[in-house]
Structure formats: structure tokens, C-alpha cells
Chain A
Amino acid sequence: MKIATLAGIVIVAAHAAGFAWLAQKSGGSELMLTVPELAVRATGETPGLHRSYVRTEYRGGHVREIGTTELVGPFQDPKAPACSGRVVVGQKLLDAMAPVMKDMVTEQMRGTDIFPVGSFQRVRSLSLEWARAESNPGDRRLLGSAGAPDGYVRANATVVFDRGEVALLVAFIPQRSPTSLKFRIAAVADLEFNNSVLRWVSDKLGADRIATSVAREQIDDILVTTFAPPPPFELPGGQSLQFIYCDGPIEIVDGAYGALPFAVAFTPLPNAPQILPPRFGPGARPAPPPDTTLALDLDVDALNAMLFELWRTGWLDRELANVGLDRRFNTDPIVTDYLSIRISPVRLALPPVIAPHAGALRLAADARVAIADGAHTTVGRAFGALDFHFVKPATTDLPVSVDLGALELACERTPTTLVPCYSDLVGAIRDRGAELHGALTDAFAALLGDIFIDRHLGTTGLPAELVIGAVVPSVTRGGTLHLQLAGTLVPVQ
């Protein structure tokens, strides 16, 4: 009996020990994923920030998923940035510029005395138009043997001197160059004198050369300024984005518009040169509306180069810190009352990437955030995406509609091992994404306004500058962001 009692006690003790062992062994196999420290791949089927997932589903609809982000090429070449944007100058802007130029020429030529036409009296008329050689066979002599394969700006002016009138026909023919914008100027002048002697002298001295000289000095500067890439975008915090010339074709359509391509300058990270903005290639660029004054077309490559530069310089991280996502989360009453976790400021681990997505643009970003839960701190890898829908102004007052497209989180067990974490919490935030729509839309509409509205485009010495009054964004099927800028020429004060 005593042995039986002892055996019974041993059985119970064995159970207690067995449970301790069993509990230790029954932690469960959490989904886990090994990842490289730097997830960059030079080439892939499509470039951009790629997400890959491993997932497992548990009974009751509970899903465990780990998503990892990889920056996939091909990438843009910082040494030879592709032509990823263009400035579109409408005929409307040339028409608006003509009177300004007329006044400017008048002012500049006042007191001029040219033999044999005599003293400058006034400019009777001046017009500018986009032209193509095949539509203007009469200009063949003017354009010479080199012609103007991409088109040209045709300037017509009549200048009155005291001994005659000079009818000027000037062609400003853009010349391709990867580093600068140059125009070849061809001009013919038809001098109308009151007597035949002067007409003979004019022919002998080369009156056309005189006219060309006058035209180059006065009009060339204005056209170069107009056609140049956008000036550097100055952003708060001393950040600016540089747009540079590129060797792309200039597109000129008779009497409609001229478009000059440009590139976005960016610099690789010195310690991680393999991280670059992805290259999607040129997007579709449909003809601008007939009433276009000035417009910008930005391919996703241009946008990504801009984002890369903003990320590389830390501007985006600083701006995110200024926005204070962490502070807003940590001080939210629901969080303070019900949750034990707190988060640090978000730091972008890879450059954000914009890509076409279901007829809109999706801005995706991969970030790191420290999540403190009591004394335990975990590094979280957050992935978020914003979907930009550019709607017509008729349907809304705002030119852009922004929605939370994705929000995911995984945690680092080690820097190269990821596990799912806080999935219920993230899921709850994601489910409430619709509530963020208004705030996101307002924020990005304001950002567009800050960048473009009331921006003055001009060059020192010019009497007028173009002031942007409104911006209407739209997106083409290929993902090109088209910014229709409504502006007016105003005299420089």
C-alpha cells in the first residue's frame, strides 16, 4: 500500500514536471522569414518596391502574414538621367508673350540708328507661333539646308525706322543638346525704302544680317527662358530639386504647343550606391488641351527620382518627423487608455516609389519604426502605400483624392529574421483607412498648392514673369502625371 501511495505521488510529480516541459515546448511555430539585410535586386519583371509574402491561415479567419519589401530594378542612371519630364508651352503663352516682347523690343531699340534704315521709330507688330517646316513651305529658304526637323518658333515683326520699315521673319530652331538649350536663329528681313537708291544699298550691305542681329539680341533670351526646364523647386528646410536638360526630341505642333524634355537630377548614396530610383521608362504623353498655357508632364521616373533625392537627403524623414505620426499615435486617447505599445518616429529604409496602379498612382514606402511594449522594444518594418486618384475639378473642389492603399507590419526577431506582429492592431487601423481619406486628401492637395500656386517663373532682366495661379493634375494611362498650370504674364514690379 505504501508503495502504491508513493507511486501515486510520483505520478503526480511526474505530471507537474511533464507539464513544465510541455509548456516550454508548446510555444508554437510562429511564422518566420529570413531576409537579406539589404533587399535590392538589380533587375526584375517590373521595377519598383516589390512585396512578397509568406502567409498561413488559422481556423476562424485568423491570418498570419509576413510581407517583405524589395527594391527591384532596372534603375535610373544618375550619370545619364533619362528624359522623364517635359515642359509644354502652349500657343496661348506665346500669344501672351508677343505684346510683352513687342514692348521689350521697342524699349531696347529706342534711340537705335541703323544704316541705311535710319532711326528706330517703333515696332508696328510682333507675333509668335509654333511652326513646322512641312506646314510652311515658304520658310524653306529661311530655314536653310539644315531645316528644322523638330519644328521652330516663328516670329513675325514689323519695325518702323525713319527711312523705311523692316519686316522681320525670324525662325528660332531648337538644337538638341544634352547639357543646354540652344537655338539656331534664321532670319530674313524685307526692307521697304522710300527710294530705289536705298533699296540698292540695302541689298549690297546685307540688310538680312542686320535684321538677324537685331532679332538674336532681343528675342533669343526670352525664348530660351521660356523653354528652359523648370527652375529648382525650393522646398522647406533648404531642400531643392534640380531639373536638367536632356537629349530628348523637342516636340512642336503647328500653332498649338511646343514641348521640351528635361530630366531630374539625383545623386546616389555614397555608402549604398546600388540603391537607386527604379526606371519604368517613358510614359504616354497625350497632346495637351488647346487652351494650355503652360504644363508639366512628369513620368513616374521623374517622380521617383525626385522622391529618391528627397529620401537620400533625409528630407522625407524630417518631414515625417515634423508631421509627428509617432506623437499622434502615442498621444491618441485610445492608445493611451487601452494599448501598452508606443512607437518611435518613422524612418524610411528604402526610397519611396511611385508606380501606376489601377488607373491611379500608388506611392509605396518601406519604413522602420521602434515599437516599445513595456520594457520590450521591437524593430518593426512597416509598409505603407497611398493611392492617388486625380479627379476632375467638376466633381470635387480638390484636385487629388488620396486613400490608404496598404498598411502592413512585420517585426524583426533579428535584423534578418522577420515574424508577424501586432497584426490585429494593424488590421484595425487598416480597416479604418476610410477615415483617413479626408485628412490625406487635404494634406496632399495643400502640398500641391504649396509647390505650384503663386510660383513666379521669370528671368532677371525680363519685364514680365509668369505667375502660376492654379494647378490641375491628371494622370495618363502610363502613369505620367500631367500638371496643367494656369498662369498669367505679369510685369515685373
Chain B
Amino acid sequence: MTTTIQETDERIIAVLSGELDTAAAAQTEKDLQPLLNSKGKEIVLDCKDLEYISSSGLRVLLSILKQAQAVGSRVVLKNVNDVIHDVLDISGFISIFDIE
């Protein structure tokens, strides 16, 4: 599981690739800390290479969403594949994230 963060003037983009399972969740949460300094910039989570996510992974995403919302940033999930979409759907997360 690797995360790459790119920052532009308007947004911070995190590219998630690999499998976000329970074992990878803690490290990924750490890797995504820079997102929390968004200062109102839009946060984009690019999931095009994300192959798997468990509830721990969802918890990481939820944690980012809650903190971003607290500082007035929007969180967008991008390029969500079928497998991930399915999990978001079953868990009800589909209604709390903006998915593009």
C-alpha cells in the first residue's frame, strides 16, 4: 500500500494504490496526515489504483473526512472502481463522500 500526495493551489491530491487492509490502515492513516493541513483546500482521494479496502481502511477515510469537514474542506473520492464502490455501497459510506 503506497500513498502519494501532490499539492496544488486549489487542492491536495492523495493517490492511493494497493490494498488498504487492516494491516495497512495504521501506516496509511499516518501517510495521509498532510491532508489535515489543507486549510480549506479541496481534498481529492484518487482511488484509481486502490484494489481493496477493509473496514479499517474505511475508518481512515472517515477520519479524514471528519477532520476536513471541521476546517471547511471538501473531500472528493475519484476514480473509484467497482470493488471499492461495492464496499462503500454496503457500508453506507457512499452517501457521506462526494464521489466523482
Q: Do A and B come from one complex?
A: no
Q: Interface residues, chain A, CB within 8 Å of chain B?
A: none
